[in-house]
Structures are given as structure tokens and as C-alpha cells.
Chain A
Amino acid sequence: MHTVTVSVLLAFSLVLSVPLNTSQGSPLQPEETSDSVLQDSSPQSDLHASPPNTPKPALTDGTPVHLKFARTVVSSQVIAGEKVPLEVVDPVLVGDLVAISRRAVAEATVTVAQAKRTMGRGGHLELKIESVRLADGELVPLRAVKDVKGGDNQPALLAGMGAAGLMYWAGSPVAFLFFAKGKSATIPAGTELTAYIAAEFPLDPSKFHAADVIPQEKNAPK
């Protein structure tokens, strides 16, 4: 048998589609508005009782979402267009509201799939992270990097290392690139990564629960 190094390339690409929430399709909130809400630690009852002019809480563009693969993904066992399930590792809070619950469902789409090739060459697998489900059931789009306007992503290329020596980084504003060494082109179940909310997303406080414990700074965008 060949003793070879198999490289697996995974790219998680940006989804530029608009939020699927048609009921909240109003113009996006100004940034100052979202920031002020995020820094507001008033109880949920205050939010419900707020006057009509008070800005709604919003999930801000660039909010990190920690995800993990719900099942093992192998390049020889998937076909482009198929969905791959992920789940949220840490809840995402907006103020004291749980915007995205722990273990909420996120979804990625296989965009390139190739089984291992001849002469001991490895497979090729690329995935595009599509969306994550909010606590109220709505879907919001995700992308690979925090800020698409920055342009210079080189210094922050190495983003992390997952299980089984799987390295990944943001190769461009729109993509995570993943490399894995080994014979199988495999992403083990439980492999973690961080994606970012790709739009400003106003929330209706009446549809979300307050968190019992509020590690707010951990998930709030900087």
C-alpha cells in the first residue's frame, strides 16, 4: 500500500443571500443602534415595555458563532449539493436574550467532492457554510470571516486547529481553507470552527427567551 500524504482542501464560502426572515425584512438597523442594544443589560421585561421608538435588539453583522460538525464528513461519501449538518457549541446572546441556542442547527453545503485519486493522491472536499437557525426558528446567513471590508486577511490566516490535525484558516474574505493530513479525506464529527453572522438581523424580543446566565462579553462582537 502507498504511504502517502493526502491533502484535503475544504473551503467554507460566504453566502451573500439576504436573510430569509421576510417578516423582519425592514431596513437594517444602524450600527450605533445595535451596539447600544448589545451593551444594554436591562432585563427582558424592560425590552418588552420599551416605547415604540426604542430600537429593537439586533444580531449584528460579524457576531461569531462557534460550530461543530454533527457527523463525520468523508470526501468519498458525499456528492456536491448535499447538506452537511453542524450544531452550535456556545449560545449566542444579544443583551440577555438567547438569540442562538446551544445545539441549534447550522447547515453547510458540499460544493466540491472528490474521492481519493489514483497514485495515492488524496480527495478534495469543499463546503460552504450556509446558515444557522435562530432560537425563534428563523435562518440567518453565515460567512467565514468577521469583517469582509478589511481586505487584509493575511495576518489572521491561521484561525485554529480542529481535531485530528485538521488545520483551517480564512484564505480570503469569503472562505475558510482546511487542510488535513492523512490518507482519508475526512472531517471527524465534533470538529469545531467559528463562522460569523453575515447580516444585521433585528430580533423580536417576544420570540426569544432570556438567558439564566449571561456571559455576554464572550459572544458579543468586538
Chain B
Amino acid sequence: MWIALLIVQTAAQFARAQESTATSPQTPSSAPAADEKPRSARETRERLERLACGPQGVHLAHHTEKNPQPLPEQPPDKGLIYVIRNGSMVGAAIQARFAMDGKWVGVNRVSNYFYIEASPGPHYFCADANGRGLLSLVIEKGTTYYLQQNLTMSGTDLDLINAEKGKQYVAKYHRSTFEEKHKN
């Protein structure tokens, strides 16, 4: 009787531990605790990379919509984020993946864009191509953001660009869609 009770209790503790381990790295809107001791730039980058980038071993099959696509309306209770890759031919053969809060949410090739919605609060973004560009933002409801995946000769940047420029890009580029495929 006691042994059976002990086994059940241990199993429950193990399950809780597994659950917390699986969910803790991807808490989407919780701000990191303010540290008493300032972090180094390297520690900050590693931390942001863990918060922002998606898991390894995920392949995103990309598709470009050739026809003009309707643009979404700005949701009043969320932020709307356009992710744009401009027409630069640097790294043209490379997919530029994009993750938010530890999950891949899109991929662009040259002259592509896609959009996502985000709840208000802090979010962490990762552009992954010939290197990783990281950015963190506090998203406000009812606001549109334009992020640009910028592939350069020495790596990948993720830039917050102004709305005027972002709208111009979205008007002339093609929307991308993707399908997630797991490698064996």
C-alpha cells in the first residue's frame, strides 16, 4: 500500500518536472527578471537566443504567393508584425527563417514578406540565415511593426524599420508562406 502510494507520488513529481522543463524556455510575454548584476553582452545574447530562436532540426518549406495578397486589418488588441526581406542578392540562395519567442513562425526568400500577430508585452525575435540576428521588443496593442531580415556579407541582422519604408516594401514584395517539416 505504502509502496504504491510512493510510486504514484514520485510519478506525479516527475511529470510536473517534465512539464516545467518543457515550457519554461518559451514563456512568451514574461519579462526577464531585472538582474542585480548587469549581464555581459555575451550572456545577454545567449539568453536572448534561447528566448527567441526556434529549435534545431526544423526545416521550413517555403512558398511565394505570386498574386497580390490582401493585407490584414490591424487587430485592436494585438500588435501586427510584418517580417520583410528586401531585394538584396546577398545570400539570395539562403532561406531566412524567423522565430518569435522560441518558435519558428515564418521564412522569407529575397523580396518576400509575411506577417504575424503578437499579444501586448515583451517578445523576442530571431532571424536565422547566414548567422543570427536578434531583437527584443515590447509590443503594444493596436500598433504595426516592420522588421527587416537583413543579410549582409558578415552575417544576418534583424532591424526595426520605420512604417513608411515598411509599407513600401510590403506594397512591392510578395507574401511568403511556409510549411514545417521535421528532419528525421
Residues of A near any B CB (own CB < 8 A): 71-72, 74, 76-83, 109-115, 117-119, 121, 124, 128
**Contact for A81 among B41, B121, B131, CB less than 8 A:** B121
**Contact for A111 among B38, B51, B138, CB less than 8 A:** B138
Asked if B48 is an interface residue, CB under 8 A from chain A, the answer is yes
| Interchain CA distance A80-B121 in the complex, whole Å | 9
In the complex where A76-B44, A79-B47, A112-B136 touch, is A118 in contact with B38 (Cβ < 8 A)? no
- Enumerate chain A residues within 8 angstroms of B9, measured Cβ to Cβ: none
Is B41 touching A82 in the complex (CB atoms < 8 A)?
Answer: no
- Enumerate chain A residues within 8 angstroms of B44, measured Cβ to Cβ: 76-79, 115
- Enumerate chain A residues within 8 angstroms of B123, measured Cβ to Cβ: 80
- Enumerate chain B residues within 8 angstroms of A76, measured Cβ to Cβ: 41, 44-45
| Interchain CA distance A124-B133 in the complex, whole Å | 13
**Contact for A112 among B41, B121, B160, CB less than 8 A:** B160
- Enumerate chain A residues within 8 angstroms of B153, measured Cβ to Cβ: 118-119
Is B152 touching A118 in the complex (CB atoms < 8 A)?
Answer: yes
Quote the shortest CB–CB distance from B40 to chain A (angstroms).
Answer: 7
B118-147: CB near A (< 8 Å → 1, else 0) gives 000111100000010111111000000000
Is B160 touching A77 in the complex (CB atoms < 8 A)?
Answer: no
Is B154 touching A81 in the complex (CB atoms < 8 A)?
Answer: no
Q: Please, which residue of chain A has its CB at the minimum distance from the CB of B44?
A: A77
> In the complex, how many residue pairs between chain A and chain B have their CB atoms under 8 Å apart?
82
**Contact for B154 among A111, A114, A119, CB less than 8 A:** A119
Is B152 touching A79 in the complex (CB atoms < 8 A)?
Answer: no
Q: Please, which residue of chain A has its CB at the minimum distance from the CB of B122?
A: A81
Asked if B155 is an interface residue, CB under 8 A from chain A, the answer is yes
Q: Please, which residue of chain A has its CB at the minimum distance from the CB of B155?
A: A118
11 A-B residue pairs with CB within 8 Å: A78-B44, A79-B124, A81-B138, A83-B34, A114-B136, A115-B44, A115-B45, A117-B157, A118-B155, A119-B152, A121-B157
| Interchain CA distance A119-B152 in the complex, whole Å | 8
Is B40 touching A124 in the complex (CB atoms < 8 A)?
Answer: no
**Contact for A82 among B31, B152, B156, CB less than 8 A:** B31
Q: Please, which residue of chain B has its CB at the minimum distance from the CB of A72?
A: B38
In the complex where A118-B155, A121-B157 touch, is A77 in contact with B48 (Cβ < 8 A)? no
Quote the shortest CB–CB distance from A72 to chain B (angstroms).
Answer: 8
Quote the shortest CB–CB distance from A140 to chain B (angstroms).
Answer: 21
Quote the shortest CB–CB distance from B42 to chain A (angstroms).
Answer: 9
- 13 new A-B contacts, CB < 8 A, other than A79-B32, A121-B157, are A76-B44, A77-B38, A79-B44, A79-B124, A80-B122, A80-B123, A80-B137, A81-B31, A81-B121, A82-B31, A83-B34, A114-B136, A124-B135
- Enumerate chain B residues within 8 angstroms of A81, measured Cβ to Cβ: 30-32, 121-122, 136, 138
Is A109 touching B138 in the complex (CB atoms < 8 A)?
Answer: yes
- Enumerate chain A residues within 8 angstroms of B34, measured Cβ to Cβ: 82-83
Quote the shortest CB–CB distance from A75 to chain B (angstroms).
Answer: 9
- Enumerate chain B residues within 8 angstroms of A78, measured Cβ to Cβ: 44
Quote the shortest CB–CB distance from B153 to chain A (angstroms).
Answer: 7
Asked if B159 is an interface residue, CB under 8 A from chain A, the answer is yes
Q: Please, which residue of chain B has its CB at the minimum distance from the CB of A13?
A: B140
In the complex where A79-B124, A81-B121 touch, is A115 in contact with B134 (Cβ < 8 A)? yes
Quote the shortest CB–CB distance from A56 to chain B (angstroms).
Answer: 34
Is B135 touching A114 in the complex (CB atoms < 8 A)?
Answer: yes
**Contact for B131 among A82, A109, A118, CB less than 8 A:** A118
| Interchain CA distance A112-B158 in the complex, whole Å | 12
| Interchain CA distance A113-B51 in the complex, whole Å | 14
| Interchain CA distance A118-B51 in the complex, whole Å | 21
In the complex where A80-B123, A82-B31, A118-B154 touch, is A124 in contact with B160 (Cβ < 8 A)? yes
